[in-house]
Amino acid sequence: MAEYFTARGLPVPRELRQNPLTDWRRLTLIAAALIVFVIGLRVTNLDLSRANPEYSAQLLRQLFQWDLTILTPRNDFETFWDTAEGLMVVTIFLGIIATVFSVVVALPLSFLGARNIMSGNRVTAAVYVFIRLLFTVVRSIDVLIVVIVSAVLLGIGNAAGVIGLAFHNVGVLGKLYSEAIEGIDPGPLEAITATGANRFQVIWTAVLPQIVNPYISFTIYRLDTNVRLAPILGLVGGGGIGILLFQSINLLQYGAAGLIIFMIVITVAAMDFASAQIRRRLV
Amino acid sequence: MTAVLSLRNLVKVYPSGTRAIDDVSLDIHRGEFVVLIGLSGSGKSSLLRCINRLIEPTAGQVIFDGVDVTRARGADLRRIRRRIGMIFQQFNLVRRASVVSNTLAGRLGYRSSWRTIASRPSPEDIAAAFENLGRVGIADKAFARADALSGGQQQRVGIARALMQRPELMLADEPVASLDPATSHSVMKYLEEINKKDGITVVCSLHFLSLARRYGTRVVALKAGRVAFDGRPEEIDERRFKEIYGEDAIEVEIGPERSVPQPMSATEAALIAMAEDTGHGPPPEIR
């Protein structure tokens, strides 16, 4: 093939000049990836010598010898809400409430964070940049870190978990919502503007119908994620079933811990299935 | 004859430095059907959008019915806009909304923000919507979703929406460029009808000179943002044509009105062409 080009005095395209197997750029990349991997192994110094196979096997067995007493109140002071299933229900609602809070905040902010709506003049463009920066900063702080901080600020418990989860979620939903607005067809906006409608009417008539479905879809997706995250919030002081899990592990009650982990798996799987079903039917 | 629309030394320079409109002055009189022609990028779309300030002119004036559009702000600008209907190449309907709610959107300029959310459209507006949909022959599609309609039908909804404004001037930006020849004529005829019967002045940009000759009472040709020709359609001869479109251009005809037996959207036509081409039967449905 390359002769076709050389015979006519044309430059030979790169695809024809090189054998992909001997392309030094490709080989360099592969070598670099390997070097990073080897350095990583040395630095992290993975050490399995301290693991005790016998103890591990015994522990794993204990995880499946479920302690069913955590499913009922264990003394006169405990109610349904102190049982594992009661805490599981609380945990699910932690995820739901956190999602609601974050939607309430992210929904109005998302309009301010959409370039196509805010590019009108210099002031709104500045607001746009600020809001998108805010979303990025908020999003970049991981949920667990926010919950640790809010547990310090608000005290250990459900409030810390919900606030922490909602805070991070505002950043994620805000970005997703804003991008949904930026992805709309600009034609109807132009047409509705031309009818003499004001800015609010343009958004109401031309933007809203186009973003309802993506918004619902993104919200359910985040609801799913939040319910999945909620059980681990208790590990850092965020309330819910995570506290019970953390306690059981610290008290070496592996039977209880195993049952809780199983309950979390079931809940998350059910949530996953439900949200996929809803999203499929909507979109 | 009084000028309903005057452009005075209009200039539009985009931030990229492109001079889309370069010192255009025009007087358009009541009842005229003005066709804008010119190559792609000659400034037709920019000119139309400067008239109702969908884009801001850089310099010059637009005077509509004695009012300086270029100086109007806020509510004043919106009151001017609602007297100027506009239809678009891509129809620009809200695709997920019904045909009738798209049509009713033409009344937004007459309603307050509060009434837009809080109340249903008035009986008069609904009656007007059905009347206008009837005029363009698609009243039976009123409750269909806009994106379920063919291209020609969507453009007719666009016309109905613009008519809801009870406009005195109708701007049409390449209204038939996305349509096949037969449908193009049907849409152009509705524009001709509102021009002749309702006395609405029309300014319409077109690609095909044959359509301009057939429907325009006046042709304005733009070349690199300047007026290259302004006169009656029949005055455009071979020499003028080459001045407007360049030396290498050859005039192509859009088919006469009777050439295609039934209206067909561009997509339908393309699908049929593809099916005939491959010999594998009709292509799968696109959904």
Question: Per-residue pLDDT for B190 more than 60?
Answer: yes
Find all residues with CB under 8 Å of A243, minimum gap 6, and list them. A87, A234, A235, A237
- Whether A187 is covered by a domain: the verdict is yes
Query: B206: pLDDT confidence band, cut at 50, 70 and 90?
Result: very high
Give CA–CA dist B224/B39, Å, rounded.
9
Give CA–CA dist A206/A238, Å, rounded.
41
A144 and A33: one domain? no
Q: Would you call A204 an interface residue with chain B, using a CB distance cutoff of 8 Å?
A: yes
Query: B207: pLDDT confidence band, cut at 50, 70 and 90?
Result: confident
A203 and A263: one domain? yes
Query: A212: pLDDT confidence band, cut at 50, 70 and 90?
Result: very high
CATH of the domain at A144: 1.10.3720.10
Q: Looking at residue B119, what is its pLDDT? A: 76
Question: Per-residue pLDDT for B269 more than 60?
Answer: no
Chain B residues within an 8 Å CB radius of A188: 92-95
A182 and A95: one domain? yes
For the beta sheet containing B3-13, the strands, ordered from the edge strand earlier in sequence to the opposite edge, are B19-29, B3-13, B59-64, B67-68
Percent of chain B with pLDDT over 70: 87
Chain A residues within an 8 Å CB radius of B93: 187-188, 191
Tally of domains within chain A: 2
Distances (CA, A) of B44 to A58, B12, B21, B58, B61: 81, 11, 8, 16, 17
- Whether A50 is covered by a domain: the verdict is no
Tens-place pLDDT, residues B113-148: 888 888 788 999 999 999 999 999 999 999 999 999
HSE-CB for A204 with a 13 A CA cutoff? 16
Range B168-182 burial, b when 16+ CB lie within 10 A, else e: bbbbbbbbbbbbbbb
Mean pLDDT of A246-272: 92
Grouping H, G, I as helix, E, B as strand and the rest as coil, residue B156 is helix
- Whether A56 is covered by a domain: the verdict is no
Q: Which two tokens stand for residue A168?
A: 């991070």
Query: Best residue in A121, A122, A195, A200 to probe B by mutation, most B CBs within 10 Å?
Result: A195
A103 and A225: one domain? yes
Reported pTM = 0.78
- Whether A22 is covered by a domain: the verdict is yes
Instruction: Lowest mean pLDDT of A66-75, A235-244, B152-161, B260-269, name the range.
Output: B260-269
- Whether A57 is covered by a domain: the verdict is no
- Enumerate domains of chain B plus CATH numbers: 1-31+39-81+207-287 (3.40.50.300)
Q: Looking at residue B210, what is its pLDDT? A: 86
Give CA–CA dist B217/B204, Å, rounded.
11
Q: Which of A218, A245, A251, A217 is nearest to A230 (CA)?
A: A245
Q: Looking at residue B279, what is its pLDDT? A: 41
Give CA–CA dist A84/A98, Å, rounded.
21
Instruction: Lowest mean pLDDT of A7-16, A41-50, A230-239, name the range.
Output: A7-16
Q: What are phi and psi of A45, to 5 degrees?
A: 50, 55
Q: Looking at residue A168, what is its pLDDT? A: 94
Which H, E and C letters describe chain A, residue by residue? CHHHHHHCCCCCCHHHHCCCCCCHHHHHHHHHHHHHHHHHHHHHCCCCCCCCHHHHHHHHHHHHCCCHHHHCCCCCCCCHHHCHHHHHHHHHHHHHHHHHHHHHHHHHHHHHCCHHHHCCCHHHHHHHHHHHHHHHHHHHCCHHHHHHHHHHHHCCCHHHHHHHHHHHHHHHHHHHHHHHHHCCCHHHHHHHHHCCCCHHHHHHHHHHHHHHHHHHHHHHHHHHHHHHHHHHHHHHCCCCHHHHHHHHHHCCCHHHHHHHHHHHHHHHHHHHHHHHHHHHHHC
A119 and A183: one domain? yes
Q: Looking at residue B286, what is its pLDDT? A: 43
Task: State the burial class of residue A139 (Cβ atoms within 10 Å of its Cβ: 0-12, 13-18, 19+).
Answer: middle
Chain B residues within an 8 Å CB radius of A200: 113, 116
A277 and A190: one domain? yes
Give the Cβ contact number of residue B156 at 10 Å.
26
Helix, strand, coil tally for chain B in percent (to 5):
40, 20, 35
Residue with tokens 């005809």: B253
Chain A residues within an 8 Å CB radius of B51: none
Give CA–CA dist A91/A228, Å, rounded.
9
Tens-place pLDDT, residues B104-122: 999 999 988 888 888 788 9
Q: Looking at residue A38, what is its pLDDT? A: 96
Question: Per-residue pLDDT for A260 more than 70?
Answer: yes
- Whether A52 is covered by a domain: the verdict is no
A86 and A130: one domain? yes
The answer to whether A202 and A189 have CB atoms below 8 angstroms apart is: yes
Question: Is the Cβ pair B92, A198 closer than 8 Å?
Answer: no
Of B96, B97, B108, the CB nearest to A195: B108
Q: Would you call A188 an interface residue with chain B, using a CB distance cutoff of 8 Å?
A: yes
Q: Looking at residue A257, what is its pLDDT? A: 93
Task: State the burial class of residue A123 (Cβ atoms within 10 Å of its Cβ: 0-12, 13-18, 19+).
Answer: exposed
A18 and A80: one domain? no
Tens-place pLDDT, residues B17-56: 889 999 999 999 999 999 999 888 888 999 999 999 999 9
A34 and A105: one domain? no
Strands B19-29 and B3-13 come out as antiparallel
Q: Would you call A187 an interface residue with chain B, using a CB distance cutoff of 8 Å?
A: yes
A8 and A82: one domain? no
Q: What are phi and psi of B61, to 5 degrees?
A: -130, 150
The answer to whether B138 and B153 have CB atoms below 8 angstroms apart is: yes
The answer to whether A124 and A247 have CB atoms below 8 angstroms apart is: no
Percent of chain A with pLDDT over 90: 60
Whole-number average pLDDT of chain B: 86
This complex has an ipTM of 0.82
Q: Looking at residue B277, what is its pLDDT? A: 47
A171 and A230: one domain? yes
CB pairs under 8 A between A and B: 83
Q: Looking at residue B261, what is its pLDDT? A: 45
Find all residues with CB under 8 Å of A283, minimum gap 6, and list them. A213, A217
Question: Is the Cβ pair B116, A187 closer than 8 Å?
Answer: no
Mean pLDDT of A209-237: 91
Query: Best residue in B84, B107, B108, B170 to probe A by mutation, most A CBs within 10 Å?
Result: B108
Tens-place pLDDT, residues B57-112: 999 999 999 999 999 888 999 999 999 999 999 999 999 999 999 999 999 999 88
Q: Would you call A183 an interface residue with chain B, using a CB distance cutoff of 8 Å?
A: no
- Whether A149 is covered by a domain: the verdict is yes
Question: Is the Cβ pair A194, B54 closer than 8 Å?
Answer: yes
Give the distance from residue A174's alpha carbon to the nearest chain B alpha carbon, in angstroms. 23
Strand partners, B3: B29
The answer to whether B169 and B64 have CB atoms below 8 angstroms apart is: yes
- Whether A63 is covered by a domain: the verdict is no
Domain containing residue A31: 2-44
The answer to whether B282 and B271 have CB atoms below 8 angstroms apart is: yes
Tens-place pLDDT, residues B5-20: 999 999 999 999 889 9
A178 and A265: one domain? yes
Chain B residues within an 8 Å CB radius of A193: 54, 81
